[in-house]
Amino acid sequence: MRNPLLRWSLIGIALFLAVSFLGGSLFWYLLGFGDDLRIEGSAPVVRDDVSGFGNGWPAYGGDQGGMRYSSAEAITAENVDRLDIAWTHSSGTFEGREDLKRRSAHEATPILVEDSLVYCTQFNEVIALDPGTGREKWRFDPKLKTEMRPANQFTCRGVAYWKDSLADPEVACASRIFTATLDARVIAIDAKTGLPCTEFDQDGQVQLGPSAPVGDPGEYTITSAPAVVGDVVVTGSSIGDNERVEAPRGVVYAFDARTGAGKWGFDPVPRNPSDPARETWAGSSADITGHTNVWSSMAVDEERNLIFLPTSSPSPDFYGGERLGDNRYANSVVALKGDTGEMVWHFQTVHHDVWDYDVPAQPGLFQVWRDGKVHDVVAQVTKMGFVFVLDRETGEPFLPIEERPVPPTDVPGEVVSPTQPFPVNTPALVPSEVDPRDGFGLTLWDKLYCQSRLRGAKRNGLYTPPSLEGTLVYPFTGGGANWGSAAFDPARNLLVVNVNNAAHVIKLYERDEPHQPGIEMGPMEGTPYKMTRELLLGPTGLPCTPPPFGMIAAVDLNTGAIVWRQKFGTTQDLAGGLALPTGTPSFGGPIITAGGLIFIGAAMDNYLRALDVETGEELWAGRLPAGGQATPLSYEWRGKQYVVIAAGGHGRSTTTLGDYVIAFALDE
């Protein structure tokens, strides 16, 4: 190079980039430093008496108990690399609604009933497909008023199925699909034709309404599938967070599946003064506090006539001075009698929640094999990365749980619980502490920025309360685990769950104090404070906490041992095609098949993956036309096994958006 100035300029730039890269975290991470994932327990013994599990896919969670297991076994580790797209269905749901695409999330899991795959779109249309070809058989449009702005995206996770044991199978509506909408309707339609069941309340639908005034119709919605127990259909609700103390109530409603008549309602806030849980709400706070809703999926034990509710936090999320006490029935697994709504037992996972650590996932109703005997349990995964395993009859711990001291608060007016429940045998699946020196950055400059942000946040480990200085809430309010829930392999006692590893900074401000502009703010009216919530990201948009940013793990529910953990997801669709193996946050869940495979989309790259159930090793990845932020399903149809996933992305992430349902099968 003849120009010395140019030559030295290029050398200087190269040295700058080298120092920046080597001084950042990525170089060392790619070399394997800081990667503490390891096999922690031996693989469970495989049982051979599981023929009664996983037949078909008649409910959102595979079965009513959320096992997410299929007995289909044609696809195995030996032939999974032959998977190819068998058919693609496009719903056309965005026609005339392109402007709402970025506010949508395709989170549906179809169910297989009446020789049809039935699912709901982002705008609550219900569509039935031929399971072998993807051909549309019928469609029901509830005419959702899209001028509403739902607090939690335009989304619908699933529908429910009910068969009338008293009706002639040939008459209309002898079998029904129940769907719940973003404008808070519960609708009954004929499972064979998609026509409304007009004898169900008013022309086939029941209209729910909030118990308190809302700022926008989208503050009170329904996003998850109803549950059916006996001849009763049950629904929760999704309510916008952090607006006010006196928010809409999170009553769970039950209706007669034939007529739509109200059967019972359960409010997780104990309004009745004679309720024993009332004493865990100071003063009259149980009369005014809202939320404590059930926004995620419920589980049903038909034999015991029990329905299991995962309840959320009270309003508002990050300050509880107006509701002092443990706030029981909030942040709990609650078991009710399905026909009456009578309380049977409850277990609280977080006392006096001020972190938005509500119970986000479907309670898992599983049979665990121990000492030659089967034990019926409820396994609950949480945003903290904990797995609580309870006896299904009593709610008592099946695996030990203990109360441990947690950090106090220094916020005037707040009183947090001095202890919280921790599983003894199973450590948290994600970290909750970070040394600022470990702040992550692709380059030295990113790393220095993240180190500074971490040093500036209050951080005393898990359950450090929100503060006026700004608190590191780690794991963040998206989990740990989230609504995708977990899958269970009954042959191995193995619970498989994908978890997120990222942090929020939550800061409280006195009512008249100016807050940081440009980030999420919640007014928390009725309290002395407002709040801001910021996802802690570096300048390149990756989390400041060390990778992996997403993981998938397997837990032996007999012992509580973590059998394996693996990084999950790449940055391919986050970084313009550069597929760094850092893992990504994920939304959607796994399923397990009798062929010894886990299938999961969920990560923030556009793939459906197959993993080895015994090791978590990735065996195959199929490219999707849009993000797979949904839980797949698998079934056998006319001699062929299919794996199906909704591919439509998530508007709050950077995944590709769309309106697809994709089926994979072995090539011929």
Residue at 25 is within a domain: no
Bridge partner list, 649: none
CB 442 within 8 A of CB 537: no
CA angle at 301 for the pair 299 and 306, rounded to the nearest 5°: 85
CA distance 600 to 607: 8
Picking from 218, 222, 285, the residue whose alpha carbon sits closest to that of residue 253 is 222
Q: Which helix (H) or strand (E) holds 18?
A: helix 4-23
Residue 16 belongs to a domain: no
pLDDT for position 44:
65
Q: Would residue 12 count as lying in a domain?
A: no
Residues linked to residue 118 through DSSP beta bridges, in sequence order: 111, 128
- C-beta separation of 471 from 457 below 8 A: yes
Residue 29 has what pLDDT?
Answer: 66
Question: What is the C-alpha end-to-end distance of the chain, expressed in Å?
Answer: 58
Domain containing 414 — which CATH number? 2.140.10.10
- In this structure, are residues 245 and 525 in contact, taking their beta carbons and an 8 Å threshold? yes
Distance CA 191, CA 162 (A): 9
pLDDT computed for residue 2 by the predictor: 54
From CA 65, how far away is CA 94, in angstroms rounded? 33
Q: How many CB atoms lie within 10 A of CB 312?
A: 29
Of the residues 356, 573, 605, 659, only one is catalytic, namely 356
**Domain enclosing residue 454, as ranges:** 34-666
- Residue 172 has a CB neighbour count (10 Å cut-off) of 16
Identify whether 517 is part of a domain.
yes
Contact 224, 218 (CB under 8 A): no
**Sequence-distant (≥ 6) Cβ neighbours of residue 548 within 8 angstroms:** 35, 37, 501, 567, 568, 582, 583
In degrees and rounded to multiples of 5, residue 307 shows phi and psi of -125, 135
| Torsion sign across C-alpha atoms 375, 565, 594, 133 | positive
Share of the chain residues as helix, strand and coil, in percent rounded to the nearest 5: 10, 35, 55
Only one residue has tokens 């707040």, namely 414
Q: Which pLDDT belongs to residue 23? A: 61
Name residue 313's amino acid.
Answer: S
The two tokens of residue 52 are 């009664």
Q: Which strands, in side-by-side order, build the sheet including 299-301?
A: 299-301, 306-310, 332-337, 343-348
Residue 287 in tokens = 């009369």
Tokens of 106: 């395709």
Q: Is the residue at 638 inside a domain?
A: yes
DSSP string over 297-332 = --EEETTTTEEEEE--PBSSSS--TTS-S--TTTTE
Number of structural domains the chain divides into: 1
pLDDT for 261 equals 98
- Which residue carries 């009745």 as its tokens? 272
pLDDT at 210 (0 to 100): 86
Q: Is 621 inside a domain boundary?
A: yes
Residue 216 known to be catalytic: no
Question: What's the pLDDT score for residue 151?
Answer: 85
Query: Taking a C-beta distance cutoff of 8 angstroms, is the pair 144, 162 a contact?
Result: no
Q: What's the per-residue H, E or C state across 147-210?
A: CCCCCCCECCCCCEEEECCCCCCCCCCCEEEEEECCCCEEEEEECCCCCECCCCCECCEEECCC
Tracing tokens 């896919």 back to the chain, one arrives at 57
Angle between helices 4-23 and 444-455 (to 10 degrees): 40
Place of tokens 């008293």: 166
pTM assigned to the model: 0.95
Whether residue 550 is contained in a domain is answered as yes
Query: Following DSSP, what letter does each residue of 629-647 receive, concatenated?
Result: -S--EEEEETTEEEEEEEE
| Mean pLDDT by groups of 10 residues along the chain of 668 residues | 48 45 61 51 68 91 98 98 98 96 97 98 98 98 92 95 96 98 97 98 94 84 98 97 96 98 98 97 97 97 98 98 98 98 98 98 97 95 98 98 98 98 97 96 93 97 98 97 97 97 98 94 97 95 94 97 96 85 95 98 97 97 98 98 98 92 95
Write the DSSP symbol of residue 73. -
Domain assignment of residue 18, yes or no: no
Question: How much is the pLDDT for 148?
Answer: 85
Residues 541, 95: Cα–Cα separation, whole Å: 31
Contact 111, 158 (CB under 8 A): yes
Q: What is the DSSP string of 437-463?
A: GG---SSHHHHHHHHHHHHTSB--STT
